A and B are shown apart, each in its own frame.
Chain A
Amino acid sequence: MAVLVIAEHDNQVLKTSTLNTITAAQKINNEVHLIILGKDIQTLSDTSKSIHLISKVLKCDNEKLENFLPEILAPIIVKTALSYSHVIAPASTFGKNLLPRISALLDTTQVSDIIGIENENTFIRPIYAGNAISHVQTNQEINLLTIRPSSFEKCENSGGEATLEEIPFIDSEAKTHFVSKEVSKSDRPELGSARIVVSGGRGLENSDNFKLLYDLADKLNAAVGASRAAVDSGYIGNEYQVGQTGKMVAPELYIAVGISGAIQHLAGMKESKVIVAINKDLEAPIFNVADYGLSSDLFQAIPEIIKELDLLNQIDS
């Protein structure tokens, strides 16, 4: 039986997490279908047909689906899910909010936040903030999985020729109503999929000082991240938090600035390829996971790095 991937999108474009999820689905079975639920998603569904590796796109278009309330989405997906062996969603706040509802309605146990797939029944997932790795086996009629996007490459967005099928909307009379969404606007790359991430912690002391970090990020075309302490202190919004209770990232380069390296923070970034730590405390645990450590005052180091990068750019050009 085929594998069903639940698309995460904003009614206009697919989120990168969807492309990561499709790659994970491919490791289970060659036949992967994509289900897209939303409002005014004709264009989105049409363009999704060309995603490499997808053989069918299922679409449910209704104005009540605009804000992705799980109470409305779940019953529709459940009906479709019955003809699949696996249903997979990204372990983003979208997927985490939605898939367990489907698990309840199907009376099936979901496996959360998978980082590796051994075979169609055996999955690898971190527990205890990544301080232990669990290999689990599930052999249910329908297997529900959320996968950690940063652990799977994104698939090609072109070359496919999927068919498009419309599925009926089911009205669930949800008692929950969408009020608003405060979305931070930024021209920087998306934190979850950026090649370089520059993260700041309590060491930055206030939100004004975060500008230093933004300058560095812009020089490197990097996304900005933060520790929970920085978010809790109001230096930056919650959507930037990296860690056990924030986002999971695995960029090629992660630069931790003024972050001590608590296990809950490491949980979200220690899969990064290259880690740089800048901290004035030589004993800070972040140095234990860093490939390159710089023991220095960040207020001195960051402007210097920016200067060095400018120099490099001059030489290169």
Chain B
Amino acid sequence: MKLVYFIEIQMKVLVAVKRVVDYKVQIRVKSDNSGVETQNVKMSVNPPDENAIEEAVKLKEQGIATETIAISIGEDKCQDVLRTSMAMGIDRSILVKSQNSLEPLAVAKTLKKIIEKEKPDLVLMGKQAIDDDSNQTGQILSALLNWPQGCFISSLKIEDKKVLISREVDEGIEKLETSLPAVLTCDLRLNTPRFASLPNIMKAKKKPLEAIEIETLDIDIEPKIKTLKVIDPPTRKAGVMVKDVKELVQKLKNEAKVI
């Protein structure tokens, strides 16, 4: 009798998706200065997280990834960004329910708990959430897991177990080589996220979405930073229109005295 052994290569990708006020919305500061109004405003997937979703789905299509999972931490309504992720092609999702919004450190600790259970080979996230503009969570997670860190990436190539990335840095582009498992944070230039087609939106409704209460994870999510107040930014005083280039240059020289 002949025995055939199949070695199945598994490559799981986990994508962290935050639900944020849509980037087109003109936000309003609450009148009691406790924060920004998020009730009754359009909410969406945090833009660079869409790039992370797109990259994960592409890896699956290329036969590199075998399973893609999206995870969001927040209120019940985060289900909608998870459904969007699945409509874009993610296989299944996890919602970690939390009433309060969490600091990046707490988000990273939550992700770590889920990662210990799901054991993905790659974690993709956005480089920055466009609400708090913290730009921390991926870096923290990578340190907590003691996995390689690749931040602000604009290209990704995975060959065998080798990971090649380009990072957008202040001086230009930096190229790094690393290995799996790894945590990578995506820039908007990594790819062009696809639109979810109507049939895929319908299909996504049937994909599995598991909900977990954050309390069951037994982590410290107490905020360490206190928001004293949130206020409107100072407005600039109205400027003037100049009629031509001559007037512009004269004003810059004699009035503003900047040239």
Whole-angstrom distance between the Cβ of A53 and the nearest chain B Cβ: 24
- Tell me the nearest residue of chain A to B133, going by C-beta: A127
Instruction: Known A104-B140, A128-B36; judge A71-B256 contact (CB<8 A).
Output: no
Cα separation A138 to B152 with both chains bound (whole Å): 27
Say yes or no: is B1 at the interface (Cβ < 8 Å to chain A): no
Cα separation A289 to B238 with both chains bound (whole Å): 7
Q: Is the CB of A100 within 8 A of B104?
A: yes
Cα separation A138 to B76 with both chains bound (whole Å): 29
Q: Is the CB of A132 within 8 A of B231?
A: yes
Q: Is the CB of B36 within 8 A of A109?
A: no
Q: Is the CB of B258 within 8 A of A196?
A: yes
Pick the contact of B105 from A93, A107, A122 — CB < 8 Å? A107
Q: Is the CB of B131 within 8 A of A127?
A: yes
Whole-angstrom distance between the Cβ of A180 and the nearest chain B Cβ: 5
Mask, B224-247, CB within 8 Å of A = 1, is 111111111100100111101110
Mask, B199-227, CB within 8 Å of A = 1, is 00000000000000000000000011111
* Chain A residues bordering chain B, tally (CB within 8 A): 84
Instruction: Known A228-B188, A264-B23; judge A177-B151 contact (CB<8 A).
Output: no
Pick the contact of B241 from A92, A130, A178, A295 — CB < 8 Å? A295
Q: Which residues of B contact A84 (CB under 8 A)?
A: none
Stretch at the interface among A26-34, A44-52, A203-211, A231-239: A231-239
Say yes or no: is A70 at the interface (Cβ < 8 Å to chain B): yes
Q: Which residues of B contact A110 (CB under 8 A)?
A: 104-105, 134, 136
Pick the contact of B230 from A98, A133, A137, A239 — CB < 8 Å? A133
Name 6 interchain pairs, CB-CB below 8 A, sorted by A: A101-B142, A131-B26, A134-B230, A184-B171, A276-B248, A294-B248
User: Which 6 A-B residue pairs are closest in the complex by CB-CB distance?
Assistant: A100-B139, A104-B143, A100-B136, A179-B175, A109-B224, A291-B239
